[in-house]
Amino acid sequence: MDSSGCSCPIEMNSQSEGKRSLCTDIYEGLRNSSSLQSPQKGAYRMFQSSYGRLAVMWLTATVIILPLGRALYAHSKPSIGSQNVSIADPALPVPATKPCTVQLFPREDFGPAGENTRMDSVPHTFNYQPPAKCSGRWAKVLLQADFSVDPGHQYDRTASIWLDGVSIYFGTTQEPSPDLGPSWRIERDLTDYSSLLRSPGQGSALINNWIDTTRTSVIHASARILFYPADKTHPAPRTPDAVYALNSTNEPSNLQTGDDQLERKIKFPRNTERIYLDEFAQSQFHDEFWYTCLPDKYIQETMAFAMRRGYQGAPRRPRACSGGSYREVEVLVDGQPAGLAPIFPWVYTGGIDPYLWRPTPGVQTLNFIPYRLDLTPFAGLVSDGEEHSIAVRVLGSNHYFSVGAALLVYRDAKSEHTGGAVTRNTLKGASLEPAITSTLGPDPSKVNGNVATRADQSYMIEGYVNTAAGRIETRVEQSLIFNNNQMFSVVDAQSTRHVTEQSGRVSSSTTSIDSGSTRRAFTRSLNYSLNSNVLRRSASGHSRSQTVHLHQTYNKRIEQQEGGLAPYTAGVDNTRDATDEVNFNFNAGHVGLSGNRNQTSSQTFSFTDSLGDCYKAELEAKGGRVTTFTEGNGCSSKPMRWFVHPTGAPDSLGWRKNVKN
């Protein structure tokens, strides 16, 4: 059982000293090949901010002109035999124009985080200035950040970059080993945030990190934004006219319970026409492994599968992750339900078994993808010049989720005041409670059964806005199917098995109608899963082995229809598999690791669209080293078009009218 209070079906370590909970004693054994004093008194298991405390440093963003060429900006491809971070994800395509680069901060060292019992954090701050030499319209805007960790012992850490309350990057770091300091690059398309980047602002970089005699590795980071000027070949897309942060400061909001909200009152432009919301919701501390949590009444029956030892000063909680496994984001406008969003079950690089993620981390682990909700049916309602409350909460949150959210607003340039109303909202008053069933027996020593959780929600929200071109009616429909099935079995006197099957299916569509004809239509389907199979075997002398099989998937499909243009379709498939077997022992408060074996992992990634763009890659590793990497099989040699989103990031598709084919 880890100190988060979540059941630790495998020797899970985790992230809440700012994103980490931990199977405390086991964690150190997995990082040290020798015995190590167990922190049973909570020397480092005290609860702190999800982002730690970092020394303040003011930095001034600078502008650099870089030479033409895409290869300069792509992350490096995996090499055979490498132990460094290796992923099959594509680099983001960019225009063939010369970019201006604004340095947000050069190489910064994130060392001691400060007082580990506090909930606040002290960020590395920077001043942002728009690129003076690229002051015209931009075809594309790209964030790049480089990270590295010194060799040694260190947890995975939450990392984020903020500008005027808007999260422009959210992710986690790769854990090092005594012999390897990992390094990697992340990229994020910020084109839809162009209006935010037109003005000077204040930014912050947050990485919670602790340095002491046990955790020895410093984390290093640098970040920059690349601005690609528009020209005739690379026209600027239509982007949101305004970006509004829901976060009041340059840090996430920590929502402890399902009733807590990230809320902000906003006075929208009186000519608002369309509204979208991008949100991140990252599990922390007791909720880090939320997909293994159980309803309270099943905690005692499954206690044999829990291994948390606790820590000094921890809240008194059951020795397993309680509260159930259902988590979902709800968005509210003036207290009225306005949409639901799934929470992807990210697994961080210290989670479940650190060897599973070497050299390939889990799906999106280092670079989260936000979920975008269409709030356009509310555009007419909020364009009255009054303040309106926009709020986000995490249903089922049980200490806690870190949340960031931003609104993307389009205005009607030909109208001073739009106005309108919400005409239908079936989400209002709907039950959001999941259905839970169980086949567990009453005897904990003979546990053989499952706990299944299912939530099936469908809703429709309709509204209209009066534009200069006439009334536009928008209908948003979405269905979400959430499934979590946990299976427990006592195999024999020495062995237990815990299988977790988590899946989600989201189908959504937006249709905008103008004078009886379809003006804009967008459909999206998202399927994701996390399956873990853990077999534990006990042996003499307090030793134990565990074998882990883990499977992750992320599959997304979109279709966009814009006016009289042919529909645009695209699909992303990302699959990650890993297996490992670890041996360790407990003796007199010490943990020793005798080694791991049979570690293998693989990742496959593909992107295709109706314009002929194609990216496919496969990566395999064994014993923590890359064994094979192939790229391009089944694709032509033609590079992807500069405006596509091959990673599954949100598609505003403001570029669609500029593309003839």
Q: H/E element holding 430?
A: none
Question: Per residue in 504-528, pLDDT tens?
Answer: 999 999 999 987 677 889 999 999 9
Answer yes or no: is pLDDT of 5 > 70.
no
Higher pLDDT: 127 or 22? It is 127
State the number of CA atoms in the 13 A half-sphere of 115 facing the CB: 6
- The Cα 659–Cα 132 span in angstroms is 28
8-state DSSP, 351? B
* pLDDT classification of 589: cutoffs 50, 70, 90: low
Mean pLDDT of 342-349: 97
Answer yes or no: is pLDDT of 318 > 60.
no
- pLDDT at residue number 614: 98
CA 493 to chain CA centroid, Å, is 39
- The Cα 539–Cα 544 span in angstroms is 6
Q: Could you tell me how many helices (H) and strands (E) the chain has, helices first?
A: 2, 31
- The Cα 95–Cα 205 span in angstroms is 27
Question: Per residue in 426-442, pLDDT tens?
Answer: 999 999 999 999 998 77
- The Cα 619–Cα 607 span in angstroms is 15
Phi, psi at 530, each rounded to 5°: -140, 120
Lowest model confidence (mean pLDDT) among 202-216, 550-564, 612-626, 630-644 = 202-216
- pLDDT at residue number 118: 47
Q: What percent of the chain shows pLDDT beyond 90?
A: 69
- pLDDT at residue number 154: 92
Give how far Cα 116 sits from Cα of 76, 284, 314, Å: 35, 15, 13
DSSP alpha helix (H) spans, 316-380:
none
Q: DSSP letters of 264-321?
A: EEEE--TTEEEEEEEEEEEE-GGGTTGGG---GGGTGGGGGG------TT-----SS-
- The Cα 553–Cα 574 span in angstroms is 6
- The Cα 499–Cα 512 span in angstroms is 44
**Chain mean pLDDT for the chain:** 85
Can you give the length of the chain in residues?
661
Structure pTM?
Answer: 0.88
Mean pLDDT of 118-136: 84
Q: H/E element holding 224?
A: strand 219-229
In terms of Cβ atoms closer than 10 Å to its own Cβ (0-12, 13-18, 19+), residue 199 is: exposed
8-state DSSP, 442? S
Name the maximum alpha-carbon separation found in the chain: 78
Q: H/E element holding 28?
A: helix 24-31
* pLDDT classification of 58: cutoffs 50, 70, 90: very low
8-state DSSP, 416? S
580 within 8 A of 558, measured Cβ to Cβ: no
* pLDDT classification of 406: cutoffs 50, 70, 90: very high
Phi, psi at 300, each rounded to 5°: -65, -35
Torsion of the alpha carbons at 129, 134, 135 and 139, rounded to the nearest 10? -110
- pLDDT at residue number 301: 81
Those residues with Cβ within 8 angstroms of residue 49's Cβ, 6 or more apart along the chain or in another chain: 18, 118, 119, 120, 121, 208
- pLDDT at residue number 28: 40
8-state DSSP, 41? T
Q: H/E element holding 196?
A: helix 194-197
Q: Is the dihedral of CA 296, 302, 308, 310 positive or negative?
A: positive
79: tokens are 């090499």
Question: Cβ atoms within 10 A of the Cβ of 541, count?
Answer: 8
- The Cα 107–Cα 438 span in angstroms is 52
Question: Per residue in 465-487, pLDDT tens?
Answer: 999 999 999 999 999 999 999 99
